[in-house]
Chains A and B, each alone.
Chain A
Amino acid sequence: MAVTEALPEAPEQFVEVVGEKIHWLQSGSGDSLIVLHHEIGNPGWLPFYEQLAQRFTVTVPDFPGWGQSERPLWMRSVRDLAVELNLLFDQAGVEETVLVGLGFGGWVAAEMATMNQSRCKRLVLVGATGVQPPEGEILDQFLYAHMDYVKMGFHDNDNFRRVYGEEPATEQLMDWDVHREMTARIAWKPYLFSQTLPYLLPGLTTPTLIVWGADDRIVPRSCGERYRDALPNSRLEVIEGAGHFVEMEKPDELSRLVLDFAGA
């Protein structure tokens, strides 16, 4: 919501899984590609999605408790979230897909892939949380006002303004607060990483593209290196001039990488 640049609309849909209402945006045609959003939520149908939609049917669900999806009061972990999303795509009959995870969504994507390799043909992790950084720390958003935190995820403040405007509306701030609360509910401690996922990653043979913004101030690049070292069939690419929110700052570069990797 509150996206200031003119964006193409994408059809939205509500589906139900485990008795909960889930909202998603879907557009494009061709093979399935699913994008999993950051913990700050999905701001709308982004140019990055639109570019992928030229080659894929792109689905962007709001996680349970985020955006317009119903809050699952029972949910306590990111693994719970990954299981629910796998059930959602079982139900939707998605047999094969490319899974693109952005930041926190990268963690969710990696969890989902370890549970169901046969569905995940290709995996893309962009600035993914989920593993403890060997160097540095994942930035603690609870110490910053919501807008300051989101700004720290951009390399260039102009890019923040382009997406969210000079002064995001109070509704946007409230959305960020709801999403922050959900992040607390399922990823409070350890904060934004799993202590067990690294031990499962070597079993994941899915071809994986790992992408990092050269100026990611939220998730250290050492997390990307750790993913690369743990995943047997992976490579790490760094995009200059991008912070944590690579898809909002460098949509062309990121979509080109993803299309080259998964779209052939």
Chain B
Amino acid sequence: MHLAYFTEQPMSAYPEEEGRKAGHTALMFSNRFYDRDAASQLYQDRITEYKLVEEVGFDGIMLNEHHNAPFCMQSKCNIFASILAAITERVKIVLLGNPLPLTENPVRLAEELAMIDLVSQGRLVSGFVRGGGTEQLAIGVNPAYNRERFEEAHDLIIKTWTEPGPWRWEGTHYQNRVVNPWALPLQRPHPRVWIPGIASRETVVWAARHRYPYVCLNTSVEDTLRVWKLYAQIAEEVGFQPGPEHRGYLLRVHCADTEEKALANARQFTWMQGEFTGLAHPVWSAPAGYNPAKQRQVLVEIAHGRRVARRDVGFEQQIENLRIIAGTPDRVVEQLRVIMEATRPGIFMIWGNDGFVTHEDSMRCIELLGREVLPAVREIAAELDLKDPFEVGAPVSEAAAQQQPSALRA
């Protein structure tokens, strides 16, 4: 089992009352409230924490990016990936991921990722995402072509990594007349691609068609199982048997020395007026054309207050139904077993600290997770036979599987 650590890297120094006054904390919440001095210190704290993450035995560090909001300080995940490439030695650098449609030049992105893989000596896992609706507005990218750009950018990046140049790309959204970068990833045929999501059907299908692991981002157990079912259906069409190595799960888990402290800190997972990703007008989250046409009715109804968006229930209930796990190491292990048995992932992302959790408490949480929780989780994983893509040597993609001798194709 691959066990990675994750934090959104919150800009916890933002003035909460200003967010309440503005009525939103995403996209249009003014960056005049951005505290530069605190931000610089917060980055230092994250670097110290990431070093400890490696030291205490995690297999990977998951990074992501968001824009125009205090809930995530990473506006370019490749920056922290580059830092980790240099300051860590062993952990995988798991990007979940680069929002492809936001890039105007996927070849540049392919170069950056190749450099990260080279500097880290082959430790990159290069996930790709579409980016949220607000992200399109924050970067000024046309939401109506989001999925087309995602798929074309992906195809161009994989080709850049795998087909010797120079060659020419004349696509719909991207045109590059001389593709021949002198930066290629160390891993062959290319770094692993994992696709995270919150269960958008189109993305699950796309991931399964490519044989990429799909990482459910903090979805309920029921939704997660629905994703696995859909993934398995598509895998069958493609011609492979999916296993734990194709299934990733991200879960909020906070560990502390006492139950009280763990619960108090875990409450921070619901910071920012109760909605982690900040308050945004629903029309910003679902700009016209960003979502499939069949969702149009539901989305315009939500945008006009005629339907309530499906939201997470309250903190207590999330603790109750294991959407958030908090406690001392023993208690956490006990609960993780339930989740592992129910969802059977080979890739487990532990979202450890967020909101206003202090640096000291974050360090302690990482320490406890690494030294006490992870060894027990590895035992459970062995017992449940939950292996990750590295352990089973899974082909990095369906295309790569087709290149292998038939005896090796599963």
Contacts and interface: CB of A to CB of B under 8 A. Distances in A.
B304 A145 contact: yes
A189 B142 contact: yes
A160 B144 CA distance: 28
Contacts of A188: 142, 144
B300 A184 contact: no
B144 A146 contact: no
B143 interface: yes
B142 A170 contact: no
A178 interface: yes
Contact of A142 (B288, B300, B304, B306): B288
Interface string A168-185: 001001101110110111
Interface in B281-310: 281-284, 287-289, 296-297, 299-301, 303-304, 306
Given A142-B287, A145-B283, A181 B304 contact: no
B140 interface: yes
Contacts of B283: 142-146
A173 B301 CA distance: 8
B395 to A, nearest CB: 34
Interface of chain A: mostly helix, strand, loop or mixed: helix
A171 to B, nearest CB: 9
Contact of A173 (B143, B145, B300): B300
A177 B296 CA distance: 8
Nearest to B307: A170
Contact of A184 (B28, B142, B284, B296): B142
Interface in A152-171: 170
A180 to B, nearest CB: 4
B281 A181 contact: no
Interface residues of B, number: 22
A147 interface: yes
Interface centre among B287, B300, B304 (most CB of A within 10 A): B300
Dominant secondary structure at the B interface: helix
A113 B406 CA distance: 63
A145 B299 CA distance: 11
Contact of B284 (A143, A173, A176, A178): A143
Q: How large is the interface on A (under 10, 10 to 19, 20 to 34, 35 or more residues)?
A: 10 to 19
A138 B215 CA distance: 41
A178 B296 contact: yes
Contact of B304 (A143, A146, A183): A146
A139 to B, nearest CB: 14
A174 B300 CA distance: 7
B300 A185 contact: no
A178 B296 CA distance: 9
Interface in B304-329: 304, 306
Contact of B288 (A143, A147, A170, A180): A180
A33 B303 CA distance: 37
Contact of A174 (B282, B287, B297): B297
Contacts of A143: 28, 137, 281, 283-284
B144 A174 contact: no
A188 B288 CA distance: 11
A178 B283 CA distance: 14
B144 A181 contact: yes
A185 B283 CA distance: 17
A178 B289 CA distance: 8
29 contacts: A142-B283, A142-B288, A143-B28, A143-B137, A143-B283, A143-B284, A144-B283, A145-B283, A145-B303, A145-B304, A146-B283, A170-B297, A170-B301, A173-B301, A173-B304, A174-B296, A176-B300, A177-B288, A177-B296, A180-B288, A183-B288, A184-B143, A184-B144, A184-B289, A185-B142, A185-B144, A185-B145, A188-B142, A189-B142
Given A142-B284, A146-B283, A146-B303, 16 more contacts: A142-B143, A142-B287, A143-B28, A145-B281, A170-B301, A170-B306, A173-B303, A180-B289, A181-B144, A184-B143, A184-B287, A185-B142, A185-B144, A188-B142, A188-B144, A189-B142
Q: Which 4 A-B pairs have the closest CB atoms?
A: A180-B288, A181-B289, A181-B288, A184-B144
